[in-house]
């Protein structure tokens, strides 16, 4: 049962696709005050668990901290951080009752979940213009399924996107890309994608390619295709200000950039230097920007990642002028009256400043809207621009798309990666915990930068992270410029990496099938244990093991130098260990606590009692996976419903896509 409460005059984010009449009766969960902005308060029971918030910091159970939806370009995901790149304003309170709440509000909003007072949730935003959806359900899982129905089907990528991808900020020339492909192919490490970070462009100009480096870009895309590699270029939100650059000139001429109060185009500095932001909230501008992806699609590109779309601002013209002014005072301050930390503060404040987000406007169907009031839906609408364009450009084909910033609703147009993490063990654990929460908010095609983006990785961290990444729909190794080289072939005993990633390819028929079934029925791909074993009190405490699809449970190792880990089995299960030599060892284990030994080059996994899963032979590309000759791993007599399609087109509901396999 979903009820919609309308407060004030909310902005239509189009996050919800089902039409739900406005509820006239009293609010059934918590209470609302509209005295100072909008405040929703709720008293929790001692044992209530709070799920949700999608891409957010900390645990699966969100209790005990404060989270802010304020899409930010923030690379240091330390434990005290309150906001990340996304705004996923959906929570589920689960205890005696099970209640879902979606605060559909596109500006900054705070979720104090037992931070100020242990037993109280306070959700606050500055303006009392909110659509609040309240969902009553039989369980947390039931609430999530009802929510997913009203926000529409999740984005489905092409099947190749389930392969492994290599990325690094700093590949510049065709030879840089060839070296990566050679490194993987020579060592027989499976690979389907190589990502093109900003250096493929000419001076970081969107929809351009540096022609000095790539005199025949289409030819290069074809060369890679012949080697079964999909190149996936990045697209940034800001359009470089440069005379003669057609995207800039067209945008200016048509009035498609975000404007300041005086009507001039707002200037924000990002990678290309000074840029304008396309007005992603303006339908015409969105169509115009989306159509530009065609240039790369025409060259054979079939996947993209959208970045810097919070939108990130290194500095604005105004911010820089203010800083210079301040520094001038400092330089002239011969008596040293200005404390040195005031300089740090001023310099630090220039990036992603809330003041800048008040300096520009959108044109939403003829109405001028100040950016800070809709800040959290900019990235969503950038990805929507692309998604809507893909429907026009290639209506039958799936195109890979994922974004850094997002809001619920964007899940229909693309996946997300979780941004600039670090090569920290704690970020591997954060990655594990974030996945089911993202799924609850509709984001199924997700993954983190495996090995860590910032800081220098270590061989063991990369291996353990890959052993978890095997199970994330987006499986990509990505690293920042200046960090230690992180491609799998850079490390000793490269055959260990080949073996780990081969496990992914052996599992792709199963993982793809479970992903598709989840997407087609608005279900979860990753579930917390408590969703599957609601009666099991112990299961509710486990945050470092996850259920995938219907059949398996994973328990990744995420601690340095650990030789294994403790695992909790809510029921009898089959322990499956993919060994370093390609063989598989299985052992039936009874419900309860166990310690499992897991060497660095091994992948642990559990099959739930009475189930089986299909397993293919190793392959080096998704195309080469032979689904006609698969074995079934698991319990004798068990059956599995396999979903399989060509992975390219959108003929999802064809009955021939499903078949029953019996062991
Ligand atoms: C941002 C992205 C990162 C990318 C870098 C350069 O930091 O999050 O993935 O490598 O920009 O484009």
HEC states along 458-493? CHHHHHHHHHHHCCCCCEEECCCCCCCCCCHHHCCC
> Position of tokens 């739900």?
20
Where does the pLDDT of residue 306 fall: very low under 50, low under 70, confident under 90, or very high at 90 and above?
A: very high
Gap between the Cα atoms of 53 and 407, Å rounded: 10
For the segment 286-305, the average pLDDT, to the nearest whole number, is: 98
Let me know if 12 is exposed, middle or buried by CB neighbors in 10 A (0-12, 13-18, 19+).
Answer: exposed
Half-sphere exposure of 546 (CA within 13 A, CB side): 24
- What letter does residue 74 receive in the DSSP assignment? -
Residue whose CA lies nearest to ligand 1 atom number 10: 169
User: Which residue from 537, 404, 529, 522 is spatially nearest to 474, judged by alpha carbons?
Assistant: 404
Task: Output the CA 404–ligand 1 centroid distance in Å.
Answer: 9
Gap between the Cα atoms of 556 and 576, Å rounded: 13
Q: What is the pLDDT of residue 337?
A: 78
Is 198 near ligand 1, meaning CB less than 6 Å away? yes
Kindly state the tokens that stand for 103: 């605060």
Task: Report the DSSP beta bridge partners of residue 468.
Answer: none
Q: Which atom of ligand 1 is nearest to the CA of 308?
A: 1
Gap between the Cα atoms of 257 and 281, Å rounded: 10
HEC states along 118-170? CCEEEEEECCCCEEEEEEEECCHHHHHHHHHHHHCCCCCCCHHHHCEEECCCC
User: Which residue from 99, 183, 173, 184 is spatially nearest to 133, judged by alpha carbons?
Assistant: 99
User: Which residue from 127, 133, 135, 120 is spatially nearest to 41, judged by alpha carbons?
Assistant: 120
Residues 6+ away with beta carbon under 8 Å from 24: none
Gap between the Cα atoms of 310 and 352, Å rounded: 9
Mutate to test the pocket of ligand 1, among 74, 238, 308 (most ligand atoms within 8 A of CB): 308
Phi, psi of 545 (to 5 degrees): -135, 145
> Position of tokens 């074995």?
631
Is 307 near ligand 1, meaning CB less than 6 Å away? yes
For the segment 59-76, the average pLDDT, to the nearest whole number, is: 97
The verdict on whether omega for the bond into residue 311 sits within 30 degrees of 0, i.e. cis, is: yes
Task: Report the DSSP beta bridge partners of residue 575.
Answer: 587, 606
For the segment 406-434, the average pLDDT, to the nearest whole number, is: 98
Q: What is the pLDDT of residue 48?
A: 98
Contact criterion met (CB below 8 Å) for 545 and 455: no
Share of residues in the chain with pLDDT > 70 (%) = 100
Q: Which atom of ligand 1 is nearest to the CA of 236?
A: 12
Kindly state the tokens that stand for 172: 């510049």
H or E element, residue 32? strand 31-33
Contact criterion met (CB below 8 Å) for 265 and 257: yes
pLDDT of 336 > 80? The answer is: no
Is 169 near ligand 1, meaning CB less than 6 Å away? yes
Gap between the Cα atoms of 369 and 513, Å rounded: 43
Kindly state the tokens that stand for 264: 């001039």
Q: What is the pLDDT of residue 339?
A: 78
Kindly state the tokens that stand for 231: 């190149």
Is 477 near ligand 1, meaning CB less than 6 Å away? no
660 CB neighbour count, 10 Å cutoff: 8
Gap between the Cα atoms of 648 and 399, Å rounded: 8
Rg (CA), the chain: 25
Is 420 near ligand 1, meaning CB less than 6 Å away? yes
Contact criterion met (CB below 8 Å) for 37 and 128: yes
Q: What is the pLDDT of residue 603?
A: 98
- What letter does residue 559 receive in the DSSP assignment? S
Is 197 near ligand 1, meaning CB less than 6 Å away? yes
Q: Which atom of ligand 1 is nearest to the CA of 404?
A: 8
H or E element, residue 246? helix 246-254
pLDDT of 333 > 90? The answer is: no
For residue 654, give the 3-state DSSP assignment: coil
DSSP string spanning 302-342? -EEEEESTTT--SEEHHHHHHHHHHHHHHHT-TT--S-HHH
H or E element, residue 428? helix 425-440
Phi, psi of 251 (to 5 degrees): -60, -40
Q: What is the pLDDT of residue 259?
A: 98
Mutate to test the pocket of ligand 1, among 197, 240, 455 (most ligand atoms within 8 A of CB): 197
Q: What is the pLDDT of residue 331?
A: 83
For residue 286, give the 3-state DSSP assignment: helix
Residues 6+ away with beta carbon under 8 Å from 460: 560, 561, 600
Contact criterion met (CB below 8 Å) for 514 and 549: yes
Residues 6+ away with beta carbon under 8 Å from 341: none
Where does the pLDDT of residue 338 fall: very low under 50, low under 70, confident under 90, or very high at 90 and above?
A: confident
Residue whose CA lies nearest to ligand 1 atom number 3: 420
**Sign of the alpha-carbon dihedral angle for 113, 114, 120, 124:** negative
Q: Which atom of ligand 1 is nearest to the CA of 453?
A: 9
Contact criterion met (CB below 8 Å) for 107 and 372: yes
Q: Which atom of ligand 1 is nearest to the CA of 420?
A: 8
Mean pLDDT computed over every residue of the chain: 97
Q: What is the pLDDT of residue 330?
A: 82
Mutate to test the pocket of ligand 1, among 307, 423, 454 (most ligand atoms within 8 A of CB): 307
Is 181 near ligand 1, meaning CB less than 6 Å away? no
Alpha-helical regions (H) of 259-298 = 283-291, 293-298
Contact criterion met (CB below 8 Å) for 52 and 93: no
Q: What is the pLDDT of residue 427?
A: 98
Compute CA distances 616 → 511, 586, 606, whole Å: 11, 17, 17
Q: Which atom of ligand 1 is nearest to the CA of 449?
A: 9
For residue 117, give the 3-state DSSP assignment: coil
Task: Output the CA 231–ligand 1 centroid distance in Å.
Answer: 16
Contact criterion met (CB below 8 Å) for 303 and 400: yes
Q: What is the pLDDT of residue 326?
A: 87
Q: pLDDT digit string (tens) for 370-407?
A: 999 999 999 999 999 999 999 999 999 999 999 999 99
Q: pLDDT digit string (tens) for 82-98?
A: 999 999 999 999 999 99
Mutate to test the pocket of ligand 1, among 420, 421, 448 (most ligand atoms within 8 A of CB): 420
Contact criterion met (CB below 8 Å) for 110 and 64: no
Q: What is the pLDDT of residue 27?
A: 97
Q: Which atom of ligand 1 is nearest to the CA of 481?
A: 10
For residue 631, give the 3-state DSSP assignment: strand
140 CB neighbour count, 10 Å cutoff: 26
Gap between the Cα atoms of 484 and 503, Å rounded: 25
Task: Output the CA 191–ligand 1 centroid distance in Å.
Answer: 21
Kindly state the tokens that stand for 219: 């030819």
Beta strands in 241-398 (DSSP E): 268-270, 273-276, 303-307, 315-316, 361-364, 367-370
Gap between the Cα atoms of 60 and 54, Å rounded: 9
Q: What is the pLDDT of residue 260?
A: 98
Kindly state the tokens that stand for 245: 């650059």
Residue whose CA lies nearest to ligand 1 atom number 5: 169
Contact criterion met (CB below 8 Å) for 251 and 276: yes
Is 404 near ligand 1, meaning CB less than 6 Å away? yes
Q: Which atom of ligand 1 is nearest to the CA of 168?
A: 10
Let me know if 500 is exposed, middle or buried by CB neighbors in 10 A (0-12, 13-18, 19+).
Answer: buried
Task: Output the CA 566–ligand 1 centroid distance in Å.
Answer: 36
Residues 6+ away with beta carbon under 8 Å from 320: 269, 350
611 CB neighbour count, 10 Å cutoff: 19
Q: What is the pLDDT of residue 127?
A: 98
């Amino acid at each position: 049962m979903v009820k919609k409460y309308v407060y004030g005059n909310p902005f239509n984010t189009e996050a919800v696709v089902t039409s739900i009449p406005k509820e006239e009766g009293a609010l059934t969960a918590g209470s609302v005050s509209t005295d100072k902005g909008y405040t929703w308060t709720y008293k929790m029971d001692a044992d209530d668990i709070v799920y949700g918030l999608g891409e957010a910091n900390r645990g699966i159970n969100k209790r005990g901290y404060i989270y802010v939806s304020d899409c930010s370009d923030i690379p240091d995901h330390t434990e005290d951080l309150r906001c990340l790149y996304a705004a996923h304003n959906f929570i589920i309170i689960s205890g005696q009752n099970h209640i879902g709440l979606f605060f559909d509000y596109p500006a900054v909003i705070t979720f104090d979940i037992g931070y100020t007072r242990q037993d109280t949730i306070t959700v606050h935003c500055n303006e009392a213009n909110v659509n609040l959806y309240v969902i009553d359900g039989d369980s947390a899982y039931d609430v999530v399924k009802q929510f997913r129905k009203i926000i529409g089907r999740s984005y489905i990528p092409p099947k190749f996107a389930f392969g492994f991808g290599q990325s690094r900020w700093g590949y510049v020339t065709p030879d840089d890309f060839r070296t990566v492909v050679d490194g993987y192919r020579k060592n027989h490490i499976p690979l389907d994608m190589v990502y093109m970070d900003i250096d493929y462009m000419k001076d970081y100009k969107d929809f351009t390619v540096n022609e000095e480096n790539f005199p025949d870009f289409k030819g290069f895309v074809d060369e890679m295709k012949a080697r079964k590699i999909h190149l996936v270029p990045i697209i940034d939100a800001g359009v470089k200000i440069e005379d003669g650059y057609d995207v800039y000139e067209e945008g200016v001429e048509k009035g498609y950039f975000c404007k300041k109060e005086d009507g001039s185009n707002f200037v924000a500095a990002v990678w290309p230097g000074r840029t304008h932001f396309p007005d992603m909230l303006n339908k015409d501008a969105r169509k115009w920007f989306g159509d530009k992806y065609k240039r790369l699609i025409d060259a054979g590109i079939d996947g993209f990642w959208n970045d810097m779309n919070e939108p990130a601002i290194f500095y604005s013209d105004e911010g820089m002028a203010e800083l210079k002014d301040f520094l001038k005072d400092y330089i002239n301050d011969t008596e040293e009256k200005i404390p040195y930390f005031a300089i740090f503060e001023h310099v630090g404040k220039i990036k992603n400043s809330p003041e800048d987000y008040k300096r520009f406007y959108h044109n939403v169907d003829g109405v001028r809207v100040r950016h800070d009031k809709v800040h959290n839906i900019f990235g969503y609408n950038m990805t929507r621009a692309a998604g809507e364009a893909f429907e026009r450009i290639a209506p039958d084909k799936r195109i890979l798309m994922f974004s850094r910033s997002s809001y619920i609703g964007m899940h229909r147009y693309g996946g997300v990666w979780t941004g600039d993490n670090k090569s920290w063990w704690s970020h591997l654990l954060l990655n594990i915990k974030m996945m089911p929460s993202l799924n609850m908010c509709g984001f199924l095609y997700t993954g983190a930068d495996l090995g860590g983006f910032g800081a220098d990785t270590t061989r063991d961290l990369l291996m353990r992270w890959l052993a978890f990444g095997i199970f994330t729909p987006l499986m990509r190794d990505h690293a920042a410029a200046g960090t230690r080289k992180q491609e799998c072939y850079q490390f000793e005993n490269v055959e260990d990496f080949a073996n780990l990633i081969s496990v992914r390819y052996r599992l792709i028929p199963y993982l793809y099938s479970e992903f598709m079934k989840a997407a087609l029925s608005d279900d979860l791909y990753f579930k917390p244990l408590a969703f599957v074993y609601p009666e099991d009190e112990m299961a509710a405490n486990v945050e470092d093991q996850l259920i995938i699809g219907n059949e398996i449970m994973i328990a990744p190792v995420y601690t340095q130098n650990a030789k294994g880990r403790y695992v909790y089995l809510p029921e009898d299960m089959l322990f499956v260990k993919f060994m370093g030599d390609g063989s598989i060892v299985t052992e039936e284990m009874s419900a309860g606590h166990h310690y499992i030994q897991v060497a660095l080059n091994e992948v642990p996994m559990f099959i739930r009692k009475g189930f089986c899963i299909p397993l293919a032979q190793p392959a080096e590309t998704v195309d080469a996976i032979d689904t006609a000759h698969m074995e079934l791993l698991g319990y004798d007599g068990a059956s599995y419903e396999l979903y399989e399609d060509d992975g390219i087109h959108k003929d999802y509901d064809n009955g021939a896509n499903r078949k029953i396999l019996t062991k």
